[in-house]
Amino acid sequence: MAHHNLDSLDKKILKLIAEDARMPFLEVARVCNVSGAAIHQRIQKLSNQGVLKGSKFNIDPEKIGYETCAFIGINLKHPENFDEVVEKLKRIPEIVECHYTTGDYDMFMKIYALNNHHLLNIIHDNLQPLGLSRSETIISFNSAFCRQLPIVDAPAEEDDDVDDANEMNIE
């Protein structure tokens, strides 16, 4: 995984849009004291580098009928089939995250189901046929919190980009 050095302007932009992804670029520019064009260029750069991975609305699963949230750890009988299994897991829309892990499981996933019966059907009809040696399901009662990672305030690499952005401060 590539690590990108972010300067102070990049970090400020990321903090602002992480708090409110709907903040207009011109408002971000005003807070950062640079031009709207500079913000647009920075957002594009951060997107191209993969630092920003799109923007989307977060839908509350419970509000649209998904009453059960669960975490499932699985072990495969044949771990060499990881890639094939992952492709099949991607076809199960209720699985919203899947991670390769160390420890007790080969993979760990987050899943939403309409109710416990629906969860049972997904496990029985979709997961068991994938060749599991074992699985463990943990049902979540409620999420205590969910948040973005903080933008680390480690010393930034000050470079000419900040000076260039400040020079482009045209309103």
The SS3 of residue 82 is helix
- CATH class label, 1-58: mainly alpha
The yes-or-no answer to whether 1-58 and 61-140 have a common fold is no
Paired tokens of 29: 């520019």
pLDDT digits (tens, 9 = 90+) for 90-116: 999 999 999 999 999 999 999 999 999
Q: Which fold has domain 61-140?
A: Alpha-Beta Plaits (3.30.70)
Q: Distance between CA 48 and CA 45 in Å, rounded? A: 5
Tell me the domain boundaries of the chain.
Answer: 1-58, 61-140
pTM above 0.85, yes or no: no
pLDDT digits (tens, 9 = 90+) for 17-51: 988 889 999 999 999 999 999 999 999 999 999 99
pLDDT digits (tens, 9 = 90+) for 44-75: 999 999 999 988 888 999 999 999 999 999 99
Q: Are 105 and 74 in contact (CB under 8 A)?
A: yes
Q: Distance between CA 135 and CA 46 in Å, rounded? A: 38
